[in-house]
Homo-oligomer: A and B are copies of this chain.
Amino acid sequence: MRQASETFETATPGRGLVEVTGPIVRWAAGQGIRTGLLTVFCRHTSASLIVQENADPDVRTDLERFFAELAPEAAGRYVHDAEGPDDMPAHIRAALTQTQLSIPVLDGRPALGTWQGIYLFEHRRRPHRRQLVLHLIGD
C-alpha cells in the first residue's frame, strides 16, 4: 500500500465553473496505483468543488445562474459585508456544494462516469489563485 500527495494550483477567471478533470486524472493515473482512493480537497471557503456534466457548457451557465439567484448579492442582506458584496454569497455557495471529493481508483484511473467532470466552482467575482490538495492511497 502506498500514498502520493500533491498541491495543485489553478487560476480562476472569476465566478463560474472551471474544469479540472484533466490534470487531476493525469496526476492520479501517473502514480502507478491500480486500485485506491483519490481525494481532492479545496483549501478555500469562497470556492468549492462539484462533479457535473462535462458535455453541454450550457449546464455550467444554468448552474452559475441558479446559485447567483439562490444566494444573491444584495446590500443590507448580510451582516458580513466587509470583504465586498460577493463574499458572503460566496461562503453560502461553498456551503451548499463540496469542499472535498473522493473517487475510487479502478484499473489505474479514477472511476468517474462517462459524463462526469470535476469542476472548481469559483464564487468570487474576481480572478483568484486556488489550491487543491490531491491525495491518493492504494496499491
The interface bits of chain A over 94-122 (1 if a CB of B lies within 8 angstroms of the residue's CB, else 0) are 11111111111010000111111000000
A51 at the interface (CB under 8 A from B): yes
In whole angstroms, what is the CA distance A116 to B99 when docked?
A: 10
Are B116 and A44 in contact (CB-based, < 8 A)? yes
18 contacts between A and B (CB under 8 A): A3-B36, A3-B139, A5-B35, A39-B102, A41-B103, A41-B104, A41-B111, A43-B116, A44-B113, A44-B116, A45-B52, A53-B91, A56-B80, A59-B91, A62-B80, A62-B91, A99-B101, A100-B102
Q: Please give the number of chain A residues whose Cβ is less than 8 angstroms from any Cβ of chain B in the complex.
A: 56
Closest 10 pairs (CB-CB, A-B): A43-B113, A104-B135, A58-B80, A58-B79, A51-B99, A62-B78, A45-B53, A111-B133, A1-B1, A104-B133
A24 within 8 Å of B (CB atoms): no
**Copies per assembly:** 3
Write out the residue numbers on chain B whose beta carbons fall within 8 Å of the beta carbon of A103: 41, 100
A37 touches B116 (CB 8 A): no
Interface residues of A (CB under 8 A from B): 1, 3, 5, 35-37, 39, 41, 43-45, 50-53, 56, 58-59, 61-63, 66, 70-71, 78-80, 82, 88, 91-92, 94-104, 106, 111-116, 131, 133-135, 137-139
